Structure 1
Amino acid sequence: MARHSILRATGVVSIFGAAGPALDEVGLSAWIAQAAPGETLVYHRGFLAVDATSVISKLPAEQQRALRLVASAALRAAEQGLVHLVQARIGPDQFAYIAIARARPRQAGPSLSVRLLEAA
């Protein structure tokens, strides 16, 4: 039985550079603010728990720090209901960490900019 991924290469925006994470918290927030529901963003490729841990990571210290900040910002955005966070296996010990934009809430409440500030 074949496994099918719902992710298509044309529907995923990758910000991961060859030398390491190229996205910062501001870039992630900007993407969340303008993303249409269902749009996806790969914010890291690798093994996040390993890549962000100084003792075992092969990334330079500054890239580890940037990765931890982006991952924390993504988690806060998910907790605010702005994105879904998923991961897809791309190889042995290799994953794509993906943020999927959620529909904006219709009920009265904090504006998107307020929610992004709270998530920062």
Structure 2
Amino acid sequence: MFKPATAFTPIRPRPLTDIEFCAWIGQAVPGDRLEYHRGFLGIDTTAVISTLAEPERRRLGALASAAYRAFDAALIHLVQVRVGPDRFAYLAIARTKPRNAPIPFSQLIVTEEAA
């Protein structure tokens, strides 16, 4: 069930990493929502104009790349909601997992042992 746009999961006290984001995708069920950034992503990830420290900017760039790859693989919807002037909440909304997803290796081993 889709939640109204005003109900956001608060941003974490510690910024999310790309690995944590991928872990969330792996366990999310369709309709789950995650706010992965709040700000202006295009500016915040650009070296020349970002006000973020270099390690933070690189972390955010890796997170944004992971989000785009997950979108490209049809695992999530990407949504941005304006929360103020030049400020957005960037949301990932889990989609139904594609049917043509590869079978994990661990599942193949179990299948082979059972045969």
Q: In percent, how many aligned pairs have the same letter?
A: 48
Match of 2:5 among 1, 4, 7: 7
SS at match of 1:41: strand
Figure out how many residues of one structure are paired with residues of the other and give that number: 103
Q: Which has the larger radius of gyration?
A: 2
Partner of 1:29: 22
TM-score by length of 1: 0.77
Corresponding position of 2:54: 61
Structure 2 residue 42 is the aligned partner of structure 1 residue 42: no
- Deviation of 1:24 (Å): 0.9
Question: Where in structure 2 are there 5+ consecutive unaligned residues?
Answer: 106-115
Q: Secondary structure at the match of 1:13?
A: coil
Moved over 2 A (4+): 12-17
Q: For the aligned residues, what is the CA RMSD? A: 2.0
Q: Give the conservation status (yes or no) of the 8 Å contact 2:38–2:88.
A: yes
More strand by share: 1
Displacement of 1:75 after TM fit?
0.1
What is the alpha-carbon distance in structure 2 between the residues aligned to residue 14 and residue 81 of structure 1?
A: 25
Q: Which residue of 2 aligns with 1:85?
A: 78
Aligned pair in 2 of structure 1 residues 16, 51: CA closer, same or farther (>3 Å)? farther
